[in-house]
Structure 1
Amino acid sequence: MKKYLTFAIAFAALGCGTAAYAQDDFSAQLKARQGQFRIMAINLGILGGMAQGKTDYDAAAAQSAADTLVAVSMIQQGPMWPAGSDDMSIDGTRAQTTIWDQNDDFLAKWADFGTAAQAIQAAASGGVEGLGPVMGQIGGTCKACHDTHRAPAN
C-alpha cells in the first residue's frame, strides 16, 4: 500500500509540473503544493482527533494516516516551487518569498517534517498514549515553517 501511495503522489507531482514549466504558468505547481498540504492536514486531523480523544483510537487508521504523512514528506519540493512562482499575487497562495530567498532553510524545515512523520509512523499503531508526544513534535515542525515561510491568513 505504501509503495503504491508514494508512487501515485510522486507521479502526480511530476505530471503536474512538466507543462507548466514550459509556459511559466504555475497553476499546476500551486495546485500540487496545495494538494500536498491538504493531504497532510487531513491525516494530521485523523491522528490529532485520536490523540485528543475526540475520536476513538483505531490502530489501522492511525497507521494509515502516519504512513501517508511519510509518503507526502518524500515528495521532492524543488519541482513544486520553481523560480518565478514566488508571486504573492497568484490567487490562493500564502507562500512567502522566503521559500525561494532562504530555500536551504525551507528544505531543512521540510526534512524536519519528514523526520517527525517517521516518528509518528513508528508510534501510530502502539496506542493512543504514544500519539501525543509525536503530534507535538510534528506540530512544531509545521509551525516553524509557517512562522517563516507562510503569510498570515487575511
Structure 2
Amino acid sequence: MLASELIEKLRLPDGTSKPLFSLIGGDSSRRLFVCRFGCLEDYPTILITVDEPLPKNKNSKVLLEELFIWINEDNYPDSEVYLESIFEYPDESYDFRYFKLQTIRDESDHLILIGDKAEALELRQHYDAFDESMYADEEE
C-alpha cells in the first residue's frame, strides 16, 4: 500500500479516530499493537509490537498527522508503507523485519493494518546482542 492510499483510508468521517492494531499475513491469532511511525531508506514504517506501547496504542488520527508531516518533509506519497517488527533470538541478538502493508480492515470500533505474509528480506536489519565487553576499550 502506498502512503497516499494509507492517508485516504485513515481519513474517517467527521475527523473521527479509531485505535489501530495490526496483523501479519492475516494471522488473526496474533493481533499486534501499533507503536510508532518512522522511516527506513525513504520508506515510511510503522513499528508493531506484541506488548501494548506506553503511554498508549496509536490511533488513526495521530498516524494520519504523522504521515502528513513525513510527506511535507520532501518524502514521496507514492512510497510503499512497511510494518516493522522486532524479532529476538535466544542469544539476545535481534532483527528488525519489514512487511509491506497490504490493506486496512475496518472493524467498526478499531482499524487493523494488515501486512504481507512474506517479509521484505532486502530491508532486514540484524543487530548483535549487547555485551559489556563492547565498551572495554573505551574504559581503558
TM-score by length of 2: 0.26
Higher strand share: 2
TM-score by length of 1: 0.25
